[in-house]
Amino acid sequence: MKIRTAIYPGSFDPVTFGHLDIIDRASRIFDHLVVSVIVNSAKKHLFSVEARVAMLKTVLKGRKNISVESFEGLLVDYAKKKKTGIIIRGLRAISDLDYEFQIAAVNRTLSPGIETVFLMPRQRYTYLSSSVVRDIAHFKGDVSKLVPSHVVKAIAGLGK
């Protein structure tokens, strides 16, 4: 039997309940899910790559068909390295579709075997993004309903 592996790439800065909803859905569809933190040194992040990977590993601990790692470079090259052509992307709203459609088309142009699978989160997470969490955290707002408890503690620790 062929094992179907998919990659769910993202900045996960920080990981939100919306991300976790997509991870749950994808992990039920595919035999193995690689949650991959993108290294993008050109972007200002709240947490280091190592911290983001650690946060994801903590929340996903015990999930047998999910692994967490980071990567740098083109997603299509990373997918080849992981021996998969399946990319998972979340769509929160119609506004995400235009951007995600462009990226999926470029990925398929660079590597014709790449397929992007779009998953919608539960309705209660359609407004939720890492940037919303970062904005709320910047003003010392309560993010406890948006991210796992260990992420809330990590965010609180940034201000000290």
Judge whether 64 counts as a catalytic residue: no
Among the options 2, 43, 61, 145, which is catalytic? 43
Rounded CA-CA distance 33/87 in Å is 10
Among the options 32, 92, 108, 150, which is catalytic? 92
Centre a 10 Å sphere on the Cβ of residue 99 and count the other Cβ atoms it contains.
Answer: 11
Judge whether 43 counts as a catalytic residue: yes
Task: Please choose, from the candidates 92, 95, 89, the residue with its C-alpha nearest in 3D space to the C-alpha of residue 118.
Answer: 89
What is the C-alpha end-to-end distance of the chain, expressed in Å? 51
Rounded CA-CA distance 65/63 in Å is 6
Task: Decide: 86 and 7 in contact? Cβ < 8 Å.
Answer: yes
SS3 state at 32 = strand
Known catalytic residues are 19, 43, 92, 130
